[in-house]
């Protein structure tokens, strides 16, 4: 695979993206860094803090805020997790990615897995890092007018951590809200119940400054059976959301110019 990649650099006119011929590591951590991360670090002037909070071994649930409607936040976040810890995260992804092979193949190649409890627990049992966005598509597709206001958290990430007795590492991504402007959140309740889509203003990303910050891990002092206590899980979820909202507000308050140095 290294020979393939070396040849592709020498002959830029040749087809580089043979997805079926690339394994996950090669695509995400060899090809994408050259195409995407250079943009992230220079165009977005990406700053990263708190990678020491990512566990170096054992299972963990990473719970970031979600925004920007394109999914750039998931790509950049997963790459920085790898850069900071040397570990390959598994990113739980919306089921719409798996409706056709055209989207499911690249999703799987990028280390994404379909978002459901069974898949998440299976990955945690393998001692992997699992990234889940508690806001789901409601966070990703919220209007830019509501930027950095966390939407309702789903409780699955708390239940996963309780079942596997592993820490939750909150994370915040700043910049995606201004990079891709979303005018409104479209809800299709009549024909496509539960489907939410954005109404984007721009396709070309704006050069907003990005910052990714990992917060200290949260260890829940409860046994696995606590995952069935709905009231407790709701309270834990609300507490974590409140902590993340406060941390995001503090970080946003410290920001200078969003587009200029």
pLDDT at 2 over 80: no
3-state helix, strand, coil in the chain (%, to 5): 45, 15, 35
Checking DSSP bridges between strand 129-131 and strand 60-64, what pairing results, if any? parallel
Question: Which residue range(s) make up the domain with 217?
Answer: 2-6+19-254
- The whole-number pLDDT of residue 99 equals 67
| Residue 25 resides in a domain | yes
| Residue 118 resides in a domain | yes
A 10 A CB-CB count for 6 gives: 9
What's the 3-state SS for 86-125? CCCEEEEECHHHHCCHHHHHHHHHCCEEECCHHHHHHHHH
What is the domain-level CATH number for residue 224? 3.40.1130
| Residue 167 resides in a domain | yes
As a whole number of angstroms, the distance between CA 114 and CA 118 comes to 10
Averaged pLDDT for residues 8-22: 50
| Residue 73 resides in a domain | yes
pLDDT in tens, 39-61: 777 889 999 999 999 999 999 99
Q: Which two tokens stand for residue 28?
A: 């995400």
102-106, 144-148, 154-158: range with highest mean pLDDT:
154-158
16-20, 23-27, 64-68: range with highest mean pLDDT:
64-68
Q: How many domains does the chain have?
A: 1
| Residue 191 resides in a domain | yes
**φ and ψ at residue 238, rounded to 5 degrees:** -65, -40
| Residue 122 resides in a domain | yes
pLDDT in tens, 177-230: 999 999 988 876 555 556 777 888 988 999 999 999 999 999 999 999 999 999
| Residue 260 resides in a domain | no
As a whole number of angstroms, the distance between CA 112 and CA 11 comes to 29
| Residue 11 resides in a domain | no
Q: What stretches of the chain adopt beta strand conformation (E)?
A: 47-49, 60-64, 89-93, 112-114, 129-131, 168-174, 182-188, 195-200, 211-214
């Amino acid at each position: 695979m290294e020979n393939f990649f070396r040849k592709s650099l020498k002959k830029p006119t040749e087809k580089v993206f043979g997805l079926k011929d690339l394994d996950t590591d090669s695509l995400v951590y060899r090809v994408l860094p050259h195409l995407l991360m250079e943009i992230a670090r220079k165009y977005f002037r990406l700053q990263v803090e708190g990678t020491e909070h990512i566990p170096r071994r054992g299972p963990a649930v990473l719970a970031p805020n979600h925004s920007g409607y394109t999914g750039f936040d998931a790509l950049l976040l997963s790459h920085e997790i790898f850069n900071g810890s040397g570990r390959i995260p598994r990113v739980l992804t919306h089921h719409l990615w798996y409706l056709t092979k055209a989207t499911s193949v690249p999703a799987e190649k990028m280390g994404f897995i379909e978002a459901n409890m069974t898949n998440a627990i299976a990955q945690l049992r393998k001692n992997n890092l699992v990234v889940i966005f508690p806001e789901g598509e409601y966070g990703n597709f919220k209007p830019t007018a509501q930027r950095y206001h966390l939407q309702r958290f789903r409780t699955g990430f708390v239940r996963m951590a309780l079942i596997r007795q592993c820490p939750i590492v909150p994370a915040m991504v700043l910049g995606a809200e201004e990079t891709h402007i979303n005018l409104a959140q479209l809800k299709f309740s009549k024909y496509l119940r539960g489907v939410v889509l954005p109404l984007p203003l721009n396709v070309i990303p704006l050069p907003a400054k990005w910052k990714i910050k990992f917060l200290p891990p949260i260890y829940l002092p409860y046994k696995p059976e606590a995952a069935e206590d709905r009231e407790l899980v709701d309270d834990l979820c609300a507490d974590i959301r409140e902590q993340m909202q406060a941390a995001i507000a503090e970080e946003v308050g410290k920001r200078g110019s969003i587009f200029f140095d």
